Structure 1
Amino acid sequence: MASIVQEWDRTPLSPFSPPNKQPTNGLRESRTSSLQRTVRQAAVDNGIQRPRGYNVSFHYNSDVEQHHFGSHHPMKPWRLHLTKELILSYGLHYAMDLYQTREATRAELATFHTDEYIDFLSEVTPDNMNEMGITDKETRHNFGDDCPVFDGLYRYCTLYTGASVSAARTLAATNPPFTNSHDIAINWSGGLHHAKKSEASGFCYINDIVLCILELLRTHPRVLYIDIDVHHGDGVEQAFASSDRVMTLSYHKYDKYDFFPGTGGLHETGPKATSSNPGAYTSLNVPLLDGIEDDQYTYLFEQITGKTIEVFRPTAIVLQCGADSLGGDRLGKFNLNIKAHGACLSFVQSHRLPLLVLGGGGYTARNVARLWTHETSLCTGSVLPDAIPAAAPYRQAFAGAENGDSLLYPNLEGRHENKHDREKIEGLVQTCHEHLRHLQGAPSVMMRRIPREVWGVREEVDAVLKEEEAERESGRRDLERSVGERGGY
C-alpha cells in the first residue's frame, strides 16, 4: 500500500536533484549539471542549511500548476510554478524535508463538505455544465464567473487539498508514514479560505484549511487560525463558529457593499454565548481600509495576535499568508511590502508552536513568488540576497523598473491612499482586546471533547446531543406515566 506522502523527488517537479540523492523515477533532468552546481554553490554562498532545533517540511505536487481558470480570470495557478522555481533557485530546498503529495481522497473531502457537493464537483465539466444546471441564467453551488468550471477542476481541488492535509499530518502526529515530526509545515498551493460546506466561493472550491484544522484537532486541543489575506477568511470562520476549540483571527479589507465577501466587521465575534453554543467570541476580525502601511499593519498584528495567543493558549497555529495584501496586487489595495508581510509570520513563529503555513490569494504572480520565497526563507531561518539569482527560470518576469528591477524586495508601498490614522489603529487594538476579555478562562475547558477518528463538523455533534436529550426526555415521561403503578416511584 502506498504511503500517505512520499519524499519529494524534485526531478518531475523541477530541474534540480535533491542533495545526496539521485532521481528514482528514471526521468532525465531538464537542466545541465553545471546549472545544478551553480544553484548548489549559491546555497552555500547564502548560508542555506537546515535550521537547528526544529524541522521544516515542504508539501507540494507540481501537477497543480497545469490547471487554468481561464485567460481573463485573476487566479493563475502558474504563480505556484514561479514560486517553486524561485525557491529552488535560492537553494532553499536544502533546508527542508520535501514531500511530493498525493491527491486528497473523497473520504478526506467529506470530513467537511457534503456528499452531494462532492458529487457535483467531481462530475461537472465544461462540456456538461449546462446539463448540470450552470447556465447564463442560473447556477448551482455558486459556480459562475468567480468560480468557473474548467478542465480538471476536481483534480485541481484534490491536489491542493492533498498537499495541505499532508502538511497538517506532519504536525499532528509522529506515526508512519512520517519518520519524524515537523515543527513547521508549508503548502503554498493551499489556503483557499472562502469555500463553504456545499458551496464554492471566491475562487475557492474545497476549503483545505478546514480539513487541516480538523486533522490537527485529532491531537491538538486548541487551534488558532490566523488569516492575513486581503479578503476575510469567512469560510473558515463559518465552519468553526460553534467550536470552542478553534479560534479564527482575520486581518482584511472590509467594505460591506463594495469588497468581497462583505463580511468580517469589527463586532462579528461569533454566535451569542449559550450553554449549547460554546463558540461565542472565538471569531476575531480586524477590518481595515485602503492603503494601510507597514508600520501600522505590523503594530496591529503584534498587538492583537500576541494578546490572542496569550488568552486562547493554542497548541497549534494555522497561518494563511495570502499575497493579495501586498502593495501592487491586482485585487488588493494595501501598501504592504514583502518584509512587513513576512514580519507577521516571524512573529507567529517566535511563539514556537507547531505552525502550518498556507498560501491563499495573490494576483500579481511575480510578487506572489517573491513573498512566498521570502517567507519560506523565514521558516528555515535563512537570509536571502536581494538580487534574483541569475540561474532563476523566468528571471525576465522580475526585470525592468515596472517589475521590480530583478530584486526580491522591490518597493511596493505608496500605490494607494492610506485611510488609517493613529486613532483608527489604536481603536482597533482596544476593541479587539476588549473582545478577548470574554475568552478569559475559556481554554480550561477546551479539551473536554477529543475528536473521533474522523472528526465531523459541529452539526453532527449537536445532532448526537439532541438524540441523547430526546432519550432522556422520553425516559422521564415514562417515569411520570408510571407514578402510582407497581414498581413506580
Structure 2
Amino acid sequence: MDDLQLPHTPRRVSYFYDPDVGGFAYPYQHPMKPHRMRMAHALIGSYGMLGRMQVVRPRRANELDLTRFHTDEYIQFLKTITAENYMEWTANKKFCQTDDCPPWDGLFDFATLTAGSSISAAHSLVTGHSDIAIAWAGGLHHAKRTEASGFCYVNDIVLGILELLRVHARVLYVDIDIHHGDGVEEAFYTTDRVMTCSFHKFGDFFPGTGTVSDIGKGRGKGYAVNFPCRDGFTDEKFVEYFKAVVGKIMEWFRPGAVVLQGGADSLAGDKLGVFNLSMHGHAACAAYVRTFNVPLMMVGGGGYTVKNVARTWTYETAVAIGCQTQISPDLPNNEYLEWFGPRYKLEVLRNNMEDYNSSEYLEATKEKIFENLRGLPHAPSAPMARNSEGAERKVWKGDDWSDEDSDIDDLDKRISGTLLVFPLCGKFGSWSFLYFRAIARQAH
C-alpha cells in the first residue's frame, strides 16, 4: 500500500453530489441505504475537502439518457411502478427476476439521480473539465438492459461509459465491489472498446457469475477479465494481485479513461460481505489506478455498514485529491458524528476471520488471466471518435452503437456521428432472508 504514502501530483477533481440523495429510502429493513451518501458528504465537508474540488450538482438523467442503454419499455415500467401496484411488479418477471428490487416511492427519481451523477461525471472528463470525477451515488452495477437486479434499477455505470466512448477509443472498467460486476460486463461482453475487470467473491454468492473463464465473446473475446475470490481476502494479498492484474491490463489495453467502481461491501465487517479489507487496503486500489494519470471516474456501489462506507469514500476522496496523508485520523465534528462511535476514527479495521485465498490459488488465477491477455493484440485499432452536431439518437446494442432504423454496423462511424448534450450542473434472491442471516452470523 505504498501508493497511499507517495506524494501525489495535483489533479483537477470534480465531485458530483445531489443533496436530495439522502432523502430517498428503499423499503423498510432493506439493506441498501441511500443515506450513506449524505453521511459521506458531511464527513468529506468536515475535512475541508469540498474547497479543494469543483463541487457540482448533477442534472437528473431524462428518458432519452436512460434509453441509450435500457429499453423504452423497461424505463416506462420503472416510471409507473409504485408500492401501491406492487403485485404488478412481482407478476412481471420480465423486468425483475427476484424480489431484491422491490418498488418504492421515489424509485424512478432516485434512478434518474444516480444515472445523472455518473453521466455528468463522465461528461466532465470528456470535455476536459476534470482529471478525476467522483460520483459516489453511482456504481449500481447489476442492472441489465431490461431488468432490475441486485438492488440496482438503472445501470449508471454503463451510461457513463457510453459517454466516455464518444471521445475515448478504449475504456477500462475496474470493479472491487464484493459482488461480480455482471451488468456492466454483460453490456460490453461482445466489444473490444471496453475491457471489464472484476475482483469479487465467487461461489454460493450473488450473482453467481464471473469465473476466470468468462472472458467475453465475438469481437469482445478476451476483453472481460474476472478474478473470482474466496472468503477472507486481506489487504496484502488483495492489493498485490490487484496491482499485478490491473497493471498488466493498463500495459496491454492502454485505455483512454478508467472507471473504478469502489463498492464498499468488500470491507471487513460489512453486513453482507465476506472479505476482510481495511479502509487503507480498499483505498490502495484507488491510489494505484490514480498513478496512471489517465482520466479517472470513481463511483460507489455496494456497502451496507453505512458508517464504514462513509469513512472509506471520504478517505478515497482524499486519495483522489492527493491529500490523504494530510487529514487527521480523528474524525472532525459533523452532523453525523454520533454514528461513528465508539472510536470516532477515520478507519475500517480488519478482523480475525480466516483467509481462504491461498497463494497457490491466487497465482493460478493470475496466470490464467495473463494467459488470456497474451492472446490479445496490444490495444484495439479503433480510431479516436469525433463528435458532431445534429446527431440522431443512438442506442447501445451490445457491441456497437445503433440508430434504431440504421443499417450501419461500424461502431466508430456511429460514435463519430453522435453528440450527447449533458451540461455540468435479486442481489441475493431474497434480500430480506440473507440480510437477517448475515446479522445472525455476526451475532454468533
The TM-score by the shorter chain falls in which range?
0.7 to 0.9
Contact 1:221 1:450 in 2 (8 A): no
Query: 159, 163, 168: which is aligned to 1:215?
Result: 163
Question: How far apart, in 1, do the equivalents of 2:406 and 2:19 lie?
Answer: 45
| Deviation per residue, 1:304-360 (Å, 9 max, x gap) | 000001000101000000000000001110010000100000100000000000000
Contact 1:134 1:144 in 2 (8 A): no
Pair 1:232 & 2:155 matched: no
CA distance in 1, matches of 2:96, 2:240: 37
For residues 26-70 of structure 1, the C-alpha deviation after alignment (integer angstroms, 9 at most, x for no partner) is xxxxxxxxxxxxxxxxxxxxxxxxx86420000011112111112
Partners of 1:201 and 1:355 lie apart in 2 by: 26
Pick aligned residue for 2:337 from 395, 404, 410: 395
Q: State which of 244, 249, 265 in structure 2 corresponds to 1:308.
A: 249
Matches for 1:34-433 after TM superposition, within 5 Å? 53-130=10-87, 133-135=88-90, 139-142=93-96, 145-174=99-128, 181-255=129-203, 258-271=204-217, 277-382=218-323, 383=325, 384-389=327-332, 391-400=333-342, 405-414=343-352, 416-433=353-370
How far apart, CA to CA, are the structure 2 residues paired with 1:459 and 1:372? Answer: 31
Offset at 1:459?
5.0
- What code does the residue aligned with 2:367 have? Q
Q: Displaced runs of 4+ in structure 1, greater than 6 A?
A: 448-452, 462-466
- Contact 1:291/1:335, CA 8 A, preserved across alignment: yes
Q: Is the 8 A contact 2:81 2:89 kept in 1?
A: no
Larger Rg: 1
Give the Cα separation in 2 of the matches to 1:103 and 1:407.
34
User: Per the alignment, in what secondary structure is the counterpart of residue 250 of structure 1?
Assistant: strand
Deviation at 1:410, TM superposition (A): 3.9
User: Cα distance, 1:451 vs. partner?
Assistant: 7.8
Q: Residue 460 and residue 229 in structure 1: after superposition, are their counterparts in 2 closer, same or farther (change >3 A)?
A: closer
**Contact 2:202/2:211 (<8 A) preserved:** yes
Q: Is the 8 A contact 2:267 2:348 kept in 1?
A: no
Of 432-441 and 77-86, the range deviating more from structure 2: 432-441
Secondary structure of residue in 1 paired with 2:70? coil
Are residues 144 and 459 of structure 1, via their aligned partners in 2, closer, same or farther at CA, if it must alter by over 3 Å? closer
**Structure 2 residue 395 is matched with structure 1 residue 456:** yes
**Long gaps (5+) in structure 1:** 1-50, 175-180, 272-276, 470-489
CA distance in 2, matches of 1:451, 1:214: 13
2:16–2:117 contact (8 Å) kept in structure 1:
yes
SS of the aligned residue for 1:98 comes to strand
Distance 2:371 2:363 in 1: 12
Q: Determine if contact 1:317/1:356 at 8 Å carries over to the other structure.
A: yes
SS at match of 2:216: coil
CA contact (8 A) 2:168 2:385 kept: no
Q: Does 1:434 align with 2:388?
A: no
Aligned residues: 396
Q: Secondary structure at the match of 1:243?
A: coil
Offset of 1:426 from its aligned partner? Answer: 1.4
Following superposition, the deviation at residue 143 of structure 1 comes to 6.2
Tell me the TM-score normalised to structure 2 length. 0.85
| Contact persistence 2:136–2:301 (CA under 8 A) | yes
- Report the secondary structure of 1:318's partner residue: strand
Instruction: Give the corresponding residue for 2:412.
Output: none
1:145, distance to aligned residue in structure 2 (A):
2.6
TM-score (norm 1): 0.78
Q: In the aligned structure 1, how far is the partner of 2:307 from the partner of 2:239?
A: 23
Q: Deviations over 1:413-439 (max 9, x none)?
A: 32x321012111211221111111112
Is the deviation greater in 455-464 or in 333-342? Answer: 455-464
C-alpha offsets along residues 258-283 of structure 1, whole Å, 9 cap, x if unaligned?
A: 20000000111011xxxxx3111100
SS in 2 for 1:57: strand
Cα separation, 2, equivalents of 1:138 and 1:244:
34
1:55·1:182 contact (CA, 8 Å) conserved in 2?
yes
Where structure 2 has 5 or more consecutive residues not aligned to the other structure, the ranges are: 1-7, 410-444
Aligned AA for 1:351? F
Q: Which amino acid aligns with 1:399?
A: G
Q: CA contact under 8 A between 1:214 and 1:455: conserved in structure 2? A: no
Q: Could you report, residue by residue, the CA deviation over 1:417-466 in whole angstroms, capped at 9, with x for unpaired residues?
A: 2101211121122111111111233x241228768855521358487899
Distance 1:364 1:197 in 2: 29
- Cα distance change on mapping 1:338 and 1:120 into 2, 3 Å: same
Give 1:252's aligned amino acid.
H
Counting aligned pairs with the same residue, the percent is: 43
> What's the offset of the Cα at 1:393?
1.6
The 3 A distance-change label for structure 1 pair 399 and 467 is: closer
Please report how far the alpha carbon of residue 395 of structure 1 lies from its aligned counterpart in structure 2 after TM superposition. 1.2
Report if the CA contact (8 A) 1:226-1:319 is conserved: yes
Q: Provide the C-alpha distance between the structure 1 equivalents of 2:118 and 2:336, rounded to a whole number of angstroms.
A: 27
Distance 1:128 1:158 in 2: 21
CA distance in 2, matches of 1:451, 1:221: 13
CA shift for structure 1 position 144: 5.0
> How large is the RMSD of aligned CA atoms in angstroms?
2.1
User: What residue number does 2:426 align with?
Assistant: none
